[in-house]
Amino acid sequence: MDIKSYLNRWVIFGAIGFASLLLLITLIIIGWTSPRFTPDVGFAPADLTMIPAPTNTPNVTAVPTFDPNLVTPTLAANTLGINAYVQITGTEGEGLRIRSAAGLNGETVFRGEEAEVFLVKDGPQTIDGYTWWYLVAPYDETRAGWAAADFLAVVPAP
């Protein structure tokens, strides 16, 4: 069997032409059957907002009126009360037990550190020989509970 007689120029050109024809048919079929790519954005016109030029406004001063319903009572300096800021003191570094309820029987929620600052939200309640105030940490409202006034000192608002 002589293989050289099968590998002449016409056979090679014919094979290349047939392969090209198969490739062209494959590309056409893939092009017709595959879904067309559509971009998600599409045409998006730009929005333009016209802002009118400023106009001359006469200087009018507002006259304040007194409304007794809008006045909130303020505490005198160094007075322990609602909306006062207090600092834990006098625990000799051991901290203060902040409880879930006023009184010595209330469950300890967490231990407030010496010099930690809280905002008074409720109280006072006198139970078990102590005056109790409901405190909330101004930086974390989950740190809240009742504390005995004996270990609190009023501090200026931060």
Q: Tens digit of pLDDT for each residue in 68-117?
A: 666 555 556 667 889 999 999 999 989 999 999 999 999 999 999 999 99
Residue 74 belongs to a domain: no
Residue 63 belongs to a domain: no
Beta bridge partners of residue 154, listed in sequence order: 86
The reply to whether the predicted model has a pTM over 0.75 is no
- Number of folded domains that form the chain: 2
Residue 148 belongs to a domain: yes
Residue 95 belongs to a domain: yes
Q: Which helix (H) or strand (E) holds 19?
A: helix 9-33
Question: What is the domain extent for residue 135?
Answer: 85-155
